[in-house]
A and B are shown apart, each in its own frame.
Chain A
Amino acid sequence: MRGIWAVAKNTIKQALRMKIAVVFIILLFVLLPVLGITTTGDDTLKGRLQTFISYGLSLTSLLLCLLTIFVSVYTVTSDIKYRQIYTVITKPIRRFQLLLGKLLGVMILDIVLLVLFSALIYTFAVYMPKIFKATDEELVQVNNEFYTARAALNIPEVDVTGEVKERYEKLERLKRLPDLPREEIIAELTKQAQLEKRAADVGGVLIWEFDNVKPLTESMFIKFKYDVAVNPPDMQVYGRWYAGDPQYVKYGQQPPTPFYDNILKHSIQTFHEIEFPADVVPENGHLAIAFMNVSLNRTSITFPPDGLAILYKADTFTANFIRAVFLILFRLVFLACLGVLASTFVSMPVAILLCLVLFSTATISGFVIESFDSLSANMSMFYSYTIKWIIRLLPQFDKFNPTKFLVQARLLSWSVLAQCVVFMVFIKSSILLLLAFFIFSYREIAKIIV
Chain B
Amino acid sequence: MEYAIETFSLTKIFSDWWGRTKVYAVDDLNLQVRQNEVFGLLGPNGSGKTTTMKMLLGLLHPTKGKALILGGDGANPKINSRIGFLPEESYLYKYLNARETLDFYGRLFGLPAKLRKMRIEALLDMVGLKAVANRSVGTYSKGMARRIGLAQALINDPELLILDEPTTGLDPIGTRQIKDLILKLAQRGKTVLLCSHLLADVEDVCDRIAILYGGKIQTQGRVRELLQQSHKIQITTDAISDSTLSKIEQLIKDEKAEYEVTSPMDKLETFFINTVAQAQRLAQPTSGAVSTTKIGGFLVQDVPLENILDKLVSSPVSKETSQEAPTTEKVPVDEDSGTEPDKQLLTELTGTAETSQSESDAGEEKTRTEPVESEQVPQETQDQVKKDILDRLTGRPGSQNDKNRQTD
State whether A93 touches B108 (Cβ < 8 A).
yes
State whether A446 touches B59 (Cβ < 8 A).
yes
Residue B109 at the chain A interface, CB threshold 8 Å: yes
A450 contacts across to B, CB distance below 8 A: 14, 23, 25, 46, 48, 51
Residue B96 at the chain A interface, CB threshold 8 Å: yes
Instruction: Count chain B residues whose beta carbon lies closer than 8 angstroms to a beta carbon of A.
Output: 40
Q: Which residue of A lies closest to B152 (CB)?
A: A87
State whether A444 touches B25 (Cβ < 8 A).
no
- Write the B164-199 contact mask toward A (1 if CB under 8 angstroms, else 0): 000000000000000000000000000000000000
Bound-state Cα–Cα, A356 to B59, Å = 30
**Given the contacts A84-B91, A87-B91, A92-B81, A6 and B104 also touching, CB distance less than 8 Å:** yes
A14 contacts across to B, CB distance below 8 A: 93, 95
- B110 touches which one: A2, A10, A84, A448 (CB < 8 A)? A2
A449 contacts across to B, CB distance below 8 A: 50-51
Residue A180 at the chain B interface, CB threshold 8 Å: no
Residue A381 at the chain B interface, CB threshold 8 Å: no
Residues 1-49 (chain A) with a chain B CB within 8 angstroms? 2-3, 5-7, 9-10, 13-14, 17-18
State whether B51 touches A88 (Cβ < 8 A).
no
Residues 81-100 (chain A) with a chain B CB within 8 angstroms? 82-94
**Given the contacts A10-B104, A450-B25, A86 and B109 also touching, CB distance less than 8 Å:** no
Residue A445 at the chain B interface, CB threshold 8 Å: yes
CB distance from B95 to the nearest CB of A (A): 4
CB distance from A4 to the nearest CB of B (A): 10
A82 contacts across to B, CB distance below 8 A: 91
Bound-state Cα–Cα, A83 to B87, Å = 9
Bound-state Cα–Cα, A5 to B89, Å = 26
Residue B213 at the chain A interface, CB threshold 8 Å: no
- A444 touches which one: B59, B78, B96, B108 (CB < 8 A)? B59
B95 contacts across to A, CB distance below 8 A: 13-14, 17-18
Bound-state Cα–Cα, A10 to B153, Å = 18
Q: Which residue of B lies closest to A6 (CB)?
A: B107
State whether B25 touches A2 (Cβ < 8 A).
no
Q: Which residue of A lies closest to B55 (CB)?
A: A446
State whether A91 touches B93 (Cβ < 8 A).
no
**Given the contacts A10-B104, A83-B87, A94 and B61 also touching, CB distance less than 8 Å:** no
CB distance from A94 to the nearest CB of B (A): 6
State whether B107 touches A84 (Cβ < 8 A).
no
Bound-state Cα–Cα, A449 to B26, Å = 12
Residues 423-450 (chain A) with a chain B CB within 8 angstroms? 444-446, 448-450
State whether B14 touches A92 (Cβ < 8 A).
no
Instruction: Count chain A residues whose beta carbon lies closer than 8 angstroms to a beta carbon of B.
Output: 30
Residue B298 at the chain A interface, CB threshold 8 Å: no
Bound-state Cα–Cα, A7 to B93, Å = 12
A83 contacts across to B, CB distance below 8 A: 87, 89, 91
State whether B92 touches A89 (Cβ < 8 A).
no
B110 contacts across to A, CB distance below 8 A: 2-3, 92
State whether B93 touches A90 (Cβ < 8 A).
no
B48 contacts across to A, CB distance below 8 A: 450
- B107 touches which one: A5, A18, A87 (CB < 8 A)? A5
Bound-state Cα–Cα, A138 to B404, Å = 100
State whether A3 touches B59 (Cβ < 8 A).
no
State whether B46 touches A87 (Cβ < 8 A).
no
State whether B109 touches A92 (Cβ < 8 A).
yes
Bound-state Cα–Cα, A93 to B156, Å = 14
Residue B126 at the chain A interface, CB threshold 8 Å: no
B83 contacts across to A, CB distance below 8 A: 90
CB distance from A280 to the nearest CB of B (A): 64
Q: Which residue of A lies closest to B92 (CB)?
A: A84
A88 contacts across to B, CB distance below 8 A: 108
State whether B51 touches A84 (Cβ < 8 A).
no
Bound-state Cα–Cα, A86 to B53, Å = 11
CB distance from B12 to the nearest CB of A (A): 9
State whether B105 touches A91 (Cβ < 8 A).
yes
**Given the contacts A94-B77, A450-B25, A450-B46, A89 and B59 also touching, CB distance less than 8 Å:** yes
Find the residue from A86, A87, A89, A92 having the highest chain B CB count within 10 A: A87
Q: Which residue of A lies closest to B81 (CB)?
A: A92
CB distance from A444 to the nearest CB of B (A): 5
Residue B60 at the chain A interface, CB threshold 8 Å: yes
State whether B96 touches A10 (Cβ < 8 A).
yes
CB distance from A96 to the nearest CB of B (A): 11
B105 contacts across to A, CB distance below 8 A: 87, 91
State whether B104 touches A446 (Cβ < 8 A).
no
A90 contacts across to B, CB distance below 8 A: 57-59, 74, 80, 83, 85
A3 contacts across to B, CB distance below 8 A: 107-108, 110
Bound-state Cα–Cα, A17 to B58, Å = 31
Q: Which residue of A lies closest to B164 (CB)?
A: A86
**Given the contacts A3-B108, A92-B81, A10 and B93 also touching, CB distance less than 8 Å:** yes
11 more A-B residue pairs beyond the given contacts A17-B136, A87-B152, A449-B51, with a C-beta to C-beta distance below 8 A: A5-B107, A6-B107, A10-B104, A13-B95, A82-B91, A83-B87, A89-B58, A89-B75, A93-B77, A94-B77, A446-B59
Q: List 12 A-B contacts (CB under 8 A).
A: A6-B107, A83-B87, A85-B91, A87-B85, A89-B58, A91-B105, A91-B109, A92-B109, A444-B59, A445-B60, A449-B50, A450-B46
4 interchain residue pairs of minimum CB distance: A6-B107, A92-B77, A17-B95, A446-B59
